[in-house]
Chain A
Amino acid sequence: MSGDLLRQFHHHAREKAQDPAHRKTIRWAIDTYDAAVARGKTRFPDWEAARQRSYEIKWEAVNHLDRYLEEFEAKVIQRGGHVFWAADSGQARNYVLELARARGVKSVVKSKSMLTEEIALNPALEREGIKVWETDLGEFIVQLRHEPPYHIVTPAMHLSRGQVIDLFREKIPNDVIGDSHEELVAAARRALRREFFAADMGISGANFLVADTGMIAITTNEGNGRLCTSLPRIHVAFAGIEKVIPRLQDLATLWPVLATVGTGQHITAYSTLIGGPRTPQENDGPVEFHVVLLDNGRSRLLADSEQRDLLQCIRCGACLNACPVYRNIGGHAYGTVYQGPLGSVLTPALQGLAQYQHLSYASSLCGNCTSVCPVKIDLAHHLLHNRRNAVQEGDRPWRERLGMRLWRWAMMDRRRFQLAGRMGRALLRAFGGISVLKPWTESRELPPAPTMTFRERWRKNGAR
């Protein structure tokens, strides 16, 4: 059972749902996003066709992972890179820790990577005495606040400019010269530029692994990704095994689709392909290039024919923005690395339904996540299937199991149903304020409790 996690979830969800300032910040951010995405989609001659094609590319990749991953690996090795297959978080962390020890790494610059959040890489590096700098502006901000990312694409979405001003004045006072957006960005840039030049290792994620050319594809808007992957002498890229795509030309579809649903851009400012370390003819770029391919439950998910499509996810964040639950409780309340509908389905798939089933119940099943997903993952129905699986595994509380048995008993007979209805309505009339109804009445008035049901009106005079 997920008792403690469920209690924490309720606590944090309530805190955020009742915080009007939080609601205002998030709704403003998402309204801005919605408008940009709507404009972005009009740039496609046929958005639904692009969506269908994206789905097909990722479907093909996920259903031939073995072949495409090995193709990718062979090409990277050919160019002098290293590929490490990590079965779990521990193996992935140890690989980079050992590498850092062997090379005497003192400081690391990172471009945005949710996968390194999944394997809790930063604390592991810091325990080794290595300084870690997040260089994506949003990630840099939440790192200074000692917070996890609030959103997989826009990690500091929950913060206002005022909060960032206060944070920068406290943490990097010498770099701050003014309060405008431009001056705040410049302050972060000054602080980070020093670290880019000092770092011994650059760590990045990868939006795609291109099989036919053996390259990682990175999408950023700030140029920090290129600095992380070209200035330090060692570059380590982390990617889940599901990130592979068959062909370079697939990026012609996937890059603009990702940019459109991610931020409403046609294409992000920096789209980078990296295939290996510096060659003898080149005078810049890293001397060493490593790719860590992480499984961490993904091949188990691959074996699940019902939810396998989760591996098609391109981490665009569209389902988070579309989710009315996310819009009210925000990213931190989930208590998971991945938030929103994606997180509510992926977390139990990777870490176990027993602990994380409550996330599948914390949804009105409105289906908006499914309808916005650019690779057509059936998120809403996976939430429903997780509920079925939780019941099948006997993980639900006894009160609920008993309640459902009683419900069935009543519904299987019309007279019992009428009797139960009559009792329920009498209860509603007589004891409207009783505590059993409090979950409803805390924020809403009770429904009416008519004296005559439809059936009775029908029987009386044909419901005229």
Chain B
Amino acid sequence: MVRTITLFIPCFVDQLLPQVGVDMITVLRRIGYEVDFPDEQTCCGQPAFNSGFWNEARLVAERFVRVFAQAETVICPSGSCTAMVRCFYPELLASSPLREDALALEKRVFEFSEFLVEVAKVTDVGSRFPHKVTYHDSCHLLRELHIKEQPRQLLRQVKGLELVELNHSEECCGFGGVFSVKFPEISGAMGEVKANHVEATGAEFVTACDPSCLLHIDGVLRRRQARARTIHLAGILAAQEGAET
């Protein structure tokens, strides 16, 4: 049985949203895992890959494969970055000398909620979060990794939490990485539509398994000074009795 988890902390989580990583660790330790963080990790290569710069992306991806070569089980708090390794590395590294290592790594990388429900086989991680919450299905999590129920299963077990479904929960929030600054007029409009749906639920929090989507939705919600706030799934699961949210 797996006891030590190797953390894959996406570059922008490291730099902009460190609390997501901290919360994920809190949950993993609470259910009895040891965690390890390979200090050499930087980025999985997705920004360049999605921009079409596959030569640049390949070098960074190969570096990623080397950094995680020894890891037994890798967990990432982002559906999109997990999908990069699991779904896109096989194509990106198809003719790389590290192809076999990439294919082997692909089977050991899990998204956070997926790991809890499918591998650790837990849905109740002893959390308490007495708030009305809605859940956004992030695109790569849903359509590349096909993860839809697992986060909801986890949320339903959180004490005090009222889960309300988000209308059009599967519609993209408009982030899309560089798309958000290359086509701000479209990305911003998509963000507004998402924020409208969030506000219509009356939820205090919108959660998701992708910090990048939440970063985007948060930017739109704060711009319109909405009551609703964003929180990563790990943040909800890390919360316990008496703890601040």
A positions within 8 Å CB-CB of B: 10, 13-14, 17-18, 23, 324-325, 327-329, 361-368, 370-371, 380, 384, 386-392, 396, 400-401, 404-405, 407-408, 410-414, 417, 421, 424-425, 439-440, 442-450, 452-459, 462-464
Give 26 A-B contacts (CB < 8 Å), ordered by A residue.
A13-B186, A17-B188, A324-B193, A325-B186, A364-B174, A364-B187, A367-B139, A367-B140, A367-B144, A368-B143, A368-B170, A371-B143, A391-B53, A392-B52, A404-B51, A411-B11, A412-B42, A412-B63, A444-B216, A445-B223, A446-B219, A447-B215, A456-B18, A457-B22, A463-B21, A463-B37
**Chain A residues positioned under 8 Å from B188 (CB to CB):** 17, 442-444
Q: Is the CB of B182 within 8 A of A361?
A: yes
In the assembled complex, B15 has its CB within 8 A of some CB on chain A: yes
Once the chains are docked, how many angstroms separate the CA of A446 from the CA of B17? 12
Given A14-B185, A368-B170, A412-B59: A454 and B179 interface contact (C-beta under 8 Å): no
Given A411-B42, A439-B184: A364 and B179 interface contact (C-beta under 8 Å): yes
**Chain B residues positioned under 8 Å from A446 (CB to CB):** 219
Q: Is the CB of A453 within 8 A of B174?
A: no
State how many angstroms separate the Cβ of A318 from the closest Cβ of chain B: 15
State how many angstroms separate the Cβ of A24 from the closest Cβ of chain B: 11
State how many angstroms separate the Cβ of B245 from the closest Cβ of chain A: 17
**Chain B residues positioned under 8 Å from A453 (CB to CB):** 14-15, 18
Residue of A nearest to B188 (CB): A443
Mostly, the B contact residues are: helix
Residue of A nearest to B183 (CB): A362
Once the chains are docked, how many angstroms separate the CA of A444 from the CA of B221? 8
**Chain B residues positioned under 8 Å from A404 (CB to CB):** 48, 51, 53, 56
Interface string of B16-33 (1 = CB under 8 A from A): 111101100100000000
Q: Is the CB of A365 within 8 A of B37?
A: no
**Chain B residues positioned under 8 Å from A457 (CB to CB):** 18, 21-22
In the assembled complex, B114 has its CB within 8 A of some CB on chain A: no
Residue of B nearest to A400 (CB): B51
Given A14-B185, A324-B190, A367-B144: A454 and B21 interface contact (C-beta under 8 Å): yes
Q: Is the CB of A445 within 8 A of B222?
A: yes
Q: Is the CB of A454 within 8 A of B13?
A: yes
Docked complex: B205-234 residues within 8 A CB-CB of A: 215-216, 218-220, 222-223
Instruction: Give the size of the chain B interface in residues (CB under 8 angstroms).
Output: 65
CB-CB nearest 3 A-B residue pairs: A364-B176, A387-B52, A443-B188
**Chain A residues positioned under 8 Å from B143 (CB to CB):** 366-368, 370-371, 380
Q: Is the CB of A366 within 8 A of B172?
A: yes
Given A18-B185, A328-B189, A444-B223: A365 and B21 interface contact (C-beta under 8 Å): no
Residue of B nearest to A409 (CB): B56
Q: Is the CB of B48 within 8 A of A407?
A: yes
Interface string of B151-185 (1 = CB under 8 A from A): 00000000000000000001110111111111111
Q: Is the CB of A13 within 8 A of B185?
A: yes
Once the chains are docked, how many angstroms separate the CA of A329 from the CA of B187? 11
